[in-house]
Structure 1
Amino acid sequence: MRAHVRVEGGLNQQVEFQSLHEWLRREDELRGLVSVDRPPIRSGEMGALSDTLVVSVSSAGAITVLARSLSVWLRQRRSDVKITVDADGSVTVDAKRAPDAEALVRKVLEHRDGGPSDGG
């Protein structure tokens, strides 16, 4: 399964994106599974602000590590950052307002992985 993770907001969206990219790359269980998907730059554009991290996870353990890692990274943000995780279904989690980011992310990832879902 491939989970697509986008970062929105923050004082500097690109800095937050790079921070999350480095954070996930340091997770032993995710090493070698995190890549950056950059949309092509069109004529007249200076660059893309909508880079996406792609994380290839194929086991329940890797899903757990990704959900936990995203949750911890969000809790450490000082600015109002949001992440959107898309793995068939989608969830947007706000660093300042999500009471249990890990559970929300895990729900999306497990649904895609064939795990239980309540349809939401």
Structure 2
Amino acid sequence: METVDEKSATMVELSVHGPSGDQLLRTLRAWLGHNDAFRGQTELRRRPIAEGDMGGGLDVLVVALGSGGAATLLVQSVSTWLNQRRSDVTVTIRATDGREVSISVTRASDPLAVMREAERLVPLQPHE
């Protein structure tokens, strides 16, 4: 498969925050690798250490986006991957110009308890 030329591609960085962040990032890379549009277009990197930081930077997943709706496909793929997680996870997608967006999935340990609490706040009324 031909890879996207980095000079003509839009590069974005994805970072993952949650339990076992590094492992989640590797899992996300593998997930994206199953899609032909991203196969060979991802690379795990270490961020440079910023002034005032102690130790190494956080790992990021760099994705080269070609044209033809690759950005939309990336967002859809990340959303699907997030919905399959069983814990609270946030993925931040950052463009080279500094713009970023974060997508979070929060899992309740007891969904029925959440429903009960919501029902206390807004009692369900039968339809007449």
| TM bin (shorter chain) | 0.5 to 0.7
Alignment partner, residue 65 of structure 1: 73
Identical-residue share of aligned pairs (%): 39
- TM-score, structure 1 as length reference: 0.67
* Runs of 4 or more above 4 Å deviation: none
1:20 aligned residue (4, 13, 28)? 28
Residue 82 (structure 2) pairs with residue 95 (structure 1): no
1:85 aligned residue (82, 86, 93)? 93
Question: Quick one: which amino acid aligns to residue 25 of structure 1?
Answer: G
- TM-score, structure 2 as length reference: 0.64
State the Cα RMSD in Å. 2.0
Alignment partner, residue 112 of structure 2: none
Residue 11 (structure 2) pairs with residue 5 (structure 1): no
Higher normalized helix content (fraction of residues): 1
Unaligned runs of at least 5 residues, structure 2? 1-9, 108-128
Alpha-carbon separation, structure 2, partners of 1:39 and 1:85: 14
Number of aligned positions between the proteins: 92
Per-residue deviation, 1:79 = 0.5
Question: Quick one: which amino acid aligns to residue 88 of structure 2?
Answer: D
Larger radius of gyration: 2
